[in-house]
Homo-oligomer: A and B are copies of this chain.
Amino acid sequence: MRLTSKGRYAVTAMLDLAFHSQLKPVTLIDIAARQTISLSYLEQLFARLRRANLVKGVRGPGGGYSLCGDAHNISIAEIVAAVGERIDSTKCGGEANCQKTHECLTHDLWMDLGDHVKSYLEKITLADLLAKNRVQEVAERQDQHAQQTIEIHNHADLMHTLQ
């Protein structure tokens, strides 16, 4: 098993998307600002999410990304799998061939653990997370903070053009 920032970022970004893309697409620039994730790195992750048909991109002004389908139908397991994180803990990848042709001593243990985690993440959807109070609170705080930084950014731009 290997669940790193890649998977964390992917789920975080998808949750941000679910929260903000009700009306119109959300730009990666906004997500990067709110969640403090590198824009270029987000692009890479969304390339995978798009290939997995979890999001769709719209180009040009007013464009951005929005969810493919309903938040109730997107599980955390799907997102994590889409960006290429292995939930499986085995060395053999389920082939039961660690020792030449035979399984190793602990093959079954890791298989069971993997199944366990997988089913846990499959049962949680974006909608489930979105319904939590804590998530709502954090998202709203982020919106306010992002609004401030945008104002600061615009102010800086203004000063720049005045020079």
Give chain A's interface residues, CB within 8 Å of chain B: 1-5, 8, 11-12, 15-16, 35-36, 76, 89, 91, 98-99, 102-110, 113, 116-117, 120-121, 124, 129, 132, 134-135, 138-139, 141-142
Contacts and interface: CB of A to CB of B under 8 A. Distances in A.
A102 B141 contact: yes
3 interchain residue pairs of minimum CB distance: A1-B3, A12-B106, A12-B105
A36 B2 contact: no
Nearest to A19: B105
Copies of this chain: 2
A110 B8 contact: yes
Contacts of A16: 105
Contacts of A98: 36
Contact of A11 (B103, B106, B138, B139): B106
B3 A89 contact: yes
A18 to B, nearest CB: 10
Contacts of A139: 105
A109 B2 contact: no
A135 B108 contact: yes
Given A36-B99, A99-B36, A120-B116, A2 B3 contact: yes
